[in-house]
């Protein structure tokens, strides 16, 4: 494999003296000292193993700090230390003889830094991961060519079945409108807090045109990237958990093939920051300008999962545009006025989530649930559902699905 070092070097400070390592007094001097030794080794490039070991000591030490107490109380300085640990490990891995497993470990280390650390040296981890991904892609396409030449049949087939599609009662159907003006949307839906499906407003996204989103496309742009995924039928289940795996592993385990369980959800708010190529395929809907917040305050979330994935009935504190890119979703909406009939959980953590299983309610425990009025729809690719702030929503994927939601205020 060709040397990677010139590309790595290009995104680093040019010399050891220009590589600043400044921390507040919250960081133990012994840790700063190890970081400085690793920095020296980075520019010396001789003792690779000791350089990796130093990076690992920093990573293990700062990992403890990141996992003590609640996330919000973790000091940003420790997140910076963690990112430097990742940077030194990645550079040490990529110096000298390369192998596919080293590249994969380096990409994973960058991702851990992007997920758990804080931005350092002008987003150097983001730049490094791009360099590494290009290398990994070149490798993958060679492997693909080899597989095609040996005419290996692709055993993995996407399961095409569709979950039972509910028949929408016309009297409860969410209204639809084609490309309304900003003023019309504001007066008819935003001011009155009425849900509506907006048609024709995202057709121009590259996610439909230049780079149609598909399993293959996701594998190409993000296959080797490590991301957090939810495992389990729904987040209210006891057996539900979160784990970190690569996008390709997620696809193999939960989306395609015979052995896939269909009980995983790549539902997260960091995906588009972590993988900017995907963010370039979408656009913030113009209607968000009707909010009072800045564009930077809009939270963009990814929802990628197999058919049958369920988001239990819950409410969120912001206005939401839920944009459907791949597959269809059944969605049920209840206004905040119906809250008492929806039996929210008592606990602080789940007080925004209903205890009721919407499509299979236990009427002995939740007798008023059927009295709550609601609206419903099947959201199709290319459509955007406006979910007003605090509106309760229940979502079930009818087939493999990729949606993007924009939370705005
Ligand atoms: O699509 C889903 O599964 C859930 C979407 C959602 O809850 C949201 O956008 O707030």
pLDDT one-digit tens code per residue, 81-132: 999 999 999 999 999 888 889 999 999 999 999 999 999 999 999 999 999 9
Cβ of 247 closer than 6 Å to ligand 1, yes or no, is no
Q: What percent of the chain has pLDDT over 70?
A: 93
pLDDT tens string 245-287: 999 999 999 998 766 666 888 988 889 999 999 999 999 999 9
Atom number in ligand 1 closest to CA 311? 3
User: 272 CA to middle of ligand 1, Å?
Assistant: 16
Residue 322 has pLDDT above 60, yes or no: yes
> Residues 24, 26, 28, CA angle at the centre, nearest 5°?
105
What is the rounded distance in angstroms from the CA atom of residue 230 to the CA atom of residue 247? 12
Which pLDDT value is given to residue 1?
A: 52
Q: What band does 154 get if pLDDT is binned at 50, 70 and 90?
A: very low
* Residue 401 pLDDT > 70: yes
Residue nearest to atom 9 of ligand 1 (CA): 405
What is the residue-wise DSSP string for 259-291? T--S-EEEEESSHHHH-HHHHTT----GGGGGS
Q: Kind of pairing, strands 196-199 and 176-178?
A: parallel
Is residue 300 lining ligand 1, measured as CB closer than 6 Å? Answer: no
Token code pair at residue 285? 């809907």
Please determine, for residue 145, whether its predicted confidence score (pLDDT) is greater than 60. yes
Residues of the chain with CATH 2.60.120.650: 170-408
Measured in angstroms, how far is the CA atom of residue 50 from the centroid of ligand 1?
A: 46
Degrees to nearest 5, angle at CA 227 with 256 and 264: 40
Q: Which atom of ligand 1 is nearest to the CA of 314?
A: 7
CB count within 10 Å of CB 30 equals 10
Pick the atom of ligand 1 nearest to 397's CA.
3
Q: Which CATH architecture has domain 170-408?
A: Sandwich (2.60)
Helix (H) or strand (E) holding 65: helix 48-66
What is the residue whose two structure tokens read 């929802």?
303
- Which sign, positive or negative, has the C-alpha torsion 181, 183, 187, 193? positive
Please tell me the predicted confidence (pLDDT) of residue 161: 59
Question: Can you tell me the distance from the alpha carbon of 85 to that of 93, in angstroms, rounded to the nearest whole number?
Answer: 12
Compute, in angstroms, the gap from residue 29 CA to the centroid of ligand 1: 45
User: What is the mean pLDDT of the segment spanning 200-218?
Assistant: 97
State which ligand 1 atom lies nearest to the alpha carbon of 403: 1
Mean of all residue pLDDT scores within the chain? 93
Ligand 1 center to 139 CA (angstroms): 36
Residue 310 CA: which ligand 1 atom is closest?
Answer: 3
Summarize the confidence of residues 161-189 as an average pLDDT: 93
pLDDT in tens, 22-38: 999 999 999 999 999 99
């Amino acid at each position: 494999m060709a040397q990677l070092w010139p590309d790595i070097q290009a995104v680093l400070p040019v010399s050891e003296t220009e590589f600043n390592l400044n921390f507040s007094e919250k960081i133990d001097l012994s840790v700063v000292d190890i970081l400085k030794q690793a920095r020296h080794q980075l520019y010396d490039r001789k003792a690779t193993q000791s350089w990796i070991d130093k990076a690992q000591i920093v990573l293990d030490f700062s990992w403890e700090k990141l996992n003590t107490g609640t996330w919000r109380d973790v000091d940003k300085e420790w997140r910076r230390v963690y990112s430097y640990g990742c940077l030194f490990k990645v550079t040490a891995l990529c110096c000298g003889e390369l192998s596919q497993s080293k590249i994969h470990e380096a990409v994973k280390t960058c991702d851990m830094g992007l997920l758990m650390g804080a931005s350092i040296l002008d987003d150097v981890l983001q730049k490094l991961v791009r360099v590494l991904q290009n290398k990994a892609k070149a490798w993958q396409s060679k492997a693909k060519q080899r597989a095609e030449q040996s005419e290996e049949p692709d055993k993995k087939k996407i399961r095409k079945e569709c979950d039972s599609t509910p028949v929408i009662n016309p009297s409860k159907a969410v209204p639809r409108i084609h490309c309304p003006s900003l003023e019309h949307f504001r007066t008819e839906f935003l001011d009155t807090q009425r849900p509506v499906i907006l048609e024709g407003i995202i057709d121009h996204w590259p996610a439909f045109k230049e780079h149609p989103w598909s399993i293959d496309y996701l594998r190409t742009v993000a296959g080797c990237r490590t991301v957090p995924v939810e495992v389990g039928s729904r987040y209210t289940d006891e057996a539900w958990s979160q784990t970190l795996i690569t996008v390709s592993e997620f696809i193999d385990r939960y989306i395609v093939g015979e052995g896939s369980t269909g009980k995983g959800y790549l539902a997260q708010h960091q995906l588009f920051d972590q993988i900017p190529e995907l963010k370039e395929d979408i656009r913030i809907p113009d209607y968000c300008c009707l909010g009072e917040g800045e564009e930077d305050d809009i939270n963009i979330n990814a929802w990628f999962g197999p058919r049958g994935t369920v988001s239990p009935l819950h409410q969120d504190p912001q206005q939401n545009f839920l944009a459907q890119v791949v597959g269809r979703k059944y969605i049920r909406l209840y206004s905040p006025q119906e809250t008492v009939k929806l039996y929210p959980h008592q606990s602080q953590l789940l007080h925004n989530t209903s205890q009721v299983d919407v499509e299979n309610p236990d009427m002995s425990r939740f007798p008023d649930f059927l009295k709550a009025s609601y609206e419903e729809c099947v959201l199709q690719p290319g459509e955007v559902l406006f979910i007003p702030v605090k509106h309760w929503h229940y979502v079930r994927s009818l087939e493999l699905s990729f949606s993007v939601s924009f939370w705005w205020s």
